[in-house]
Amino acid sequence: MYRCPGFRASGCSRCRGLCFDRRVVESAEAAFNEIVGELDYPMLIVTAAAGERIGGCLVGFATQMSISPPRFTVCISDKNHTCEVARDAEQLGVHFLAVEDDDLAQLFGGQTGHETDKFGLVEWRAGPQGTPLLDRCPNRFVGRIADRRRVGDHFSFLLEPVHASRGEDVRPFPFHRAKRIDPGHEA
């Protein structure tokens, strides 16, 4: 925990009691969680294949990282079955959900691959290097994993697109609706 050089139990000579003591750090974390909890970014389904194993999960931590060359990052919880598969995979599939895809979001966000064969419940086909591609999500891409690293309680995967398909324009499935899904495992 950071404390400024002027910190004293009675207060701070430099920042007048606004140091990053435990109380401020905890309230900063709570305030941060409230702020980012208001963001309504699109939810995605990420799929992976490594050998005979396949996995897929609902992901909210994802963003484009570069325009030229194109790069995209997805983050997967380290408790997730899909993360176990993705750490051994060479590529990942990224599927853009439509606002009406509640059932897919519920399946891939509310069930764990440790207990449920999600792919036995949806139509899909094997894409590049066996990466599962969900038939109902025509807006998707497969990316070669250029970098992977632990970032807190998630693993980050930097992707270089190698295959992409685009269907019709869709309104994305938003985070505020995904918050209603009981997760398949604790965060």
Q: Domains in the chain, ordered, with CATH?
A: 7-37 (no CATH), 44-178 (2.30.110.10)
Q: What is the CA radius of gyration of the chain?
A: 20
> Which residues make beta-bridge pairs with 124?
134
Instruction: Note the pLDDT tens digit of each residue in 50-107.
Output: 999 999 999 989 999 999 999 999 999 999 999 999 999 999 999 999 889 999 999 9
Higher pLDDT, 43 or 69: 69
Q: CA 90, 75, 133: angle at the middle one, nearest 5?
A: 50
Query: For tokens 């209603």, what's the residue?
Result: 180
Q: Who's near 67: CB < 8 A, 6+ residues apart? A: none
CA-based angle 83:174:140, to the nearest 5?
55
> Looking at residue 36, what DSSP letter applies?
H
Torsion over CA: 91, 101, 62, 83 (sign): negative
Amino acid letter, 165: S
Residue 45 has pLDDT above 70, yes or no: yes
For the question of whether the overall pTM of this predicted structure is more than 0.85, the answer is: no
Q: Does the pLDDT of residue 7 top 70, yes or no?
A: no
